[in-house]
Amino acid sequence: MHFAGILFDLDGTLVDTIPDLADAANAMRQDMDLPPLPEALIATFVGKGIEQLVIRTLSHDRQPPNVDQVMRGLARYQDHYRAFNGRHSQLFPGVQAGLEAFRSQGARLAVVTNKGSDFTAPLLRHMGLDSYFDVVVCGDTCERKKPDPLPLFHACDLLGIQTAQALFIGDSINDALAAQAAGIRALALPYGYNEGQPVQSLPVDAIVDSLVEAAQWAADQTPQFA
């Protein structure tokens, strides 16, 4: 019996969104009379939601921003990202084939992301992924974001499954800690962001090279359903 539900992170797991996130962040910095930052550096700021991305981007080369600066930066970032969302983003190799493989196993699929709902649904549509998912849990769906386990619990509830029937696939420490706290088995992909840190130290069941390999790993397991 295979896993009944597969939960996926979005940015860094299904879609390489860094080009658009970086463009929006640098446009925000330009609005606030700050020079642009390298895309690779901005990638290390991604993972804990838009607020932390803005704070990290604004505080990189000066004192931490005050509340007014954060609120201004957040508003400007959101305006820019609405325009850039999906423009240069790309699916990681093997994503669609992996999703098809999981569906062929009879699993229901969910996205669990720290990205806000205003940006998640348009991105999934733009990338042609929206039809794959039965459930989408965004950064503003629950009271707390990953690494808190609440969004994963919520996704399992919406899927109508127990956590022992689920598998979570992500690319970062936030994903790994959320899955660990929820008691959900987890896989990590090595090509994502993970705040600039290697994935080898993440507390996950395995590191797989692609979603196709993840689906094969899942097919080889015997989940212990409660």
Active site residues: 9
Say how many C-beta atoms besides its own lie within 10 A of residue 140's C-beta: 15
Q: How far apart are CA 98 and CA 32, in angstroms?
A: 41
Tokens (6 digits) for 21:
């996130």
Q: List CB contacts of 164: < 8 A, sequence separation 6 or more.
A: 183, 223, 224, 225, 226
Instruction: Compute CA distances 55 → 25, 34, 47, 148, 221, whole Å.
Output: 10, 14, 13, 20, 41
CB 151 within 8 A of CB 125: no
The backbone torsions φ and ψ at residue 9, rounded to the nearest 5 degrees and listed phi first, read -70, 165
The answer to whether residues 203 and 176 touch, using CB atoms and an 8 Å cutoff, is: yes
The token pair that represents 138 in the structure block: 């965004």
Which helix (H) or strand (E) element contains residue 211? helix 211-219
User: Residue 136, SS3?
Assistant: strand
Tokens 């330009």, located at residue? 30
- 3-state SS, residue 117: helix
